[in-house]
């Protein structure tokens, strides 16, 4: 499932982020290429902004109108999936690779006790917590901190159960957070920092440079 219903306001794109041009193609298409090439993926469902279902379905995937926030979009898409393992990815991470997708799914399949496996990179910056926005309250130990990414692979029952709590969906910054709240065992799969999220204009420039290097 690819979450592609974001407005793109922070990017200043003037339209949905998933359709912003990156290296000559819509941002979404880079993720679609990776998921099509992944051996572990049987079907792709994309949650899109209202009115974009037709154009995305033409790409050979299932397109569904997303919700008011990210987790609601994932919940809507999950209802269309019948597989025992579901993978969630943000279209805003166009540098995802088939190898990363397959590795995360394989690890979840191999650990029957795990409810989810998520991509993440170790935090390298020093992280400080502030009390009122500009006064430092404490410095966190970065040794145990990870910057979470997507894709994230879930056992379908665990994800659907976590998404069924409608009151907690608006506050969730990722779906693994919801599974954690339900007591699910979530594992980290170390992923490259270059699997970046496009949020600001500079991220588009960096992503394009990395894509050109790959080519």
Residue-wise pLDDT for 82-95, tens only, equals: 999 999 999 999 99
The predicted structure's pLDDT at residue 69: 87
Tokens found for residue 190: 């170390």
Strand, coil or helix: what is 91? coil
Residue 71's contacts (CB-CB under 8 Å, 6 or more residues apart) are 163, 169, 170, 172, 175, 178
Q: What are phi and psi of 156, to 5 degrees?
A: -55, -45
Tokens found for residue 66: 């997303």
- Calculate what percentage of the chain has a pLDDT beyond 90: 81
Domains, the chain, ordered by start: 2-214 (3.90.550.10)
**Cα within 13 Å of Cα(142), Cβ side:** 10
Predicted TM-score (pTM) of the model is 0.93
Q: Summarize pLDDT for 93-142 with one digit per residue, the tens.
A: 999 999 999 999 999 999 999 999 999 999 999 999 998 878 999 999 99
What is the C-alpha separation between 53 and 45, in angstroms, rounded? 11
Tokens found for residue 42: 């049987």
């Amino acid at each position: 499932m690819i979450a592609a219903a974001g407005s793109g306001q922070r990017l200043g794109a003037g339209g949905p982020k998933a359709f912003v041009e990156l290296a000559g193609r819509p941002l979404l298409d880079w993720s679609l290429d990776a998921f099509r090439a992944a051996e572990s993926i049987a079907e792709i469902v994309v949650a899109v902004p209202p009115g974009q279902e037709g154009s995305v379905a033409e790409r050979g995937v299932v397109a569904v109108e997303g919700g008011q926030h990210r987790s609601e979009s994932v919940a809507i898409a999950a209802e269309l999936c019948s597989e025992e393992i579901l993978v969630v990815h943000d279209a805003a991470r166009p540098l995802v690779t088939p190898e990363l997708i397959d590795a995360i799914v394989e690890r979840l399949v191999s650990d029957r006790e795990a409810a989810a496996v998520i991509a993440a990179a170790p935090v390298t910056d020093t992280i400080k917590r502030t009390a009122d926005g500009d006064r430092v309250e404490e410095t966190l130990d970065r040794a145990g901190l990870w910057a979470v990414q997507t894709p994230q692979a879930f056992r379908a029952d665990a994800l659907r159960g976590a998404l069924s709590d409608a009151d907690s969906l608006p506050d969730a910054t990722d779906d693994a957070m919801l599974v954690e709240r339900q007591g699910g065992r979530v594992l980290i799969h170390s992923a490259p920092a270059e699997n970046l999220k496009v949020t600001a204009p500079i991220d588009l420039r960096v992503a394009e440079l990395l894509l050109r290097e790959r080519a």
